[in-house]
Amino acid sequence: MAEVSQKLMELQIPYKNATLLYGPPETGKTMFARYIAFKKALPLCYLNFSRIIDSYMGSTAKNIAKAFAYASSNSCIFMLDEVDTISCDRKSTSGKGSDGEMSRITVTLMQEFDKIPNDVIVLAATNRYDLLDSAFVSRFSTKQEMKPFTTEENQKMIQMFLSDIGYEFDETEINRIVKGTHDQREIMSKTIQLLAEKI
Ligand SMILES: Nc1ncnc2c1ncn2[C@@H]1O[C@H](COP(=O)(O)OP(=O)(O)OP(=O)(O)O)[C@@H](O)[C@H]1O
Ligand SMILES: [Mg+2]
């Protein structure tokens, strides 16, 4: 995909490698961006929309433009996290007051998005896919649902994490960690807690 984008860029055809990750909290959406940056050996440009809403709404559009210009200046993984914070459905808002300002910010977001060069890999994440503006969603070439791991997948997550660092837990210990929860954050923190006790 990255190679195709590159080739099309040489032909001056805009074609973004953009993936929208959606799914419930703690399913590894934010972490996935870090993993891709590591795998691709590219810098990660991280923008969390829940933190850029300025109390002076007019500044938010300016902040977005600045961040996008910065990310576009180099080949990188550009992560747009918690995009539902601003990319809300324009049809469902009144167009007045702060809703109207939100729609304008969404328009800015899309204009800036369209300017991103092909060599920037875009990842966006949300746990409220239903709130996103359809014109924003349609800009992503891939939409990927992140589902919570099954118990077996959670056991595997622990094993992979431990084998990466050269440790092992026995089966009972792993079962105790995954028992009664599917929350991947909680499972990882319990794993690290047990590891700390062992060390
Ligand atoms: N595949 C995984 N491998 C290892 N750890 C994971 C994995 N998925 C989730 N985790 C653990 O769960 C934590 C939460 O993941 P992350 O913050 O990426 O979730 P999220 O989907 O972005 O959640 P939110 O929607 O709340 O932002 C991570 O910090 C990590 O500890
Ligand atoms: Mg997240």
The region of weakest confidence among 2-11, 42-51, 56-65 is: 2-11
Average pLDDT of the chain, as a whole number: 90
The region of weakest confidence among 8-22, 28-42, 68-82, 85-99 is: 85-99
98, amino acid identity: S
pLDDT for res 11: 86
- Model confidence at 168, in pLDDT bands (50, 70, 90)? very high
pLDDT for res 97: 57
Our answer on whether the CB atom of 36 is closer than 6 Å to any ligand 1 atom is no
Q: What is the number of the ligand 1 atom nearest to the C-alpha of 185? A: 12
pLDDT cut 90: percent of the chain above it: 71
Chain segment 109-133, per-residue pLDDT in tens: 999 999 999 999 999 999 999 999 9
Residue list, CB under 5 A from ion ligand 2: 29-30
Read off the pLDDT of each residue in 15-25 and give the average, rounded to a whole number.
94
CATH fold for domain 2-145: Rossmann fold (3.40.50)
From atom 31 of ligand 1, which residue's Cα is the shortest distance away? 185
Domain boundaries, the chain: 2-145, 151-198
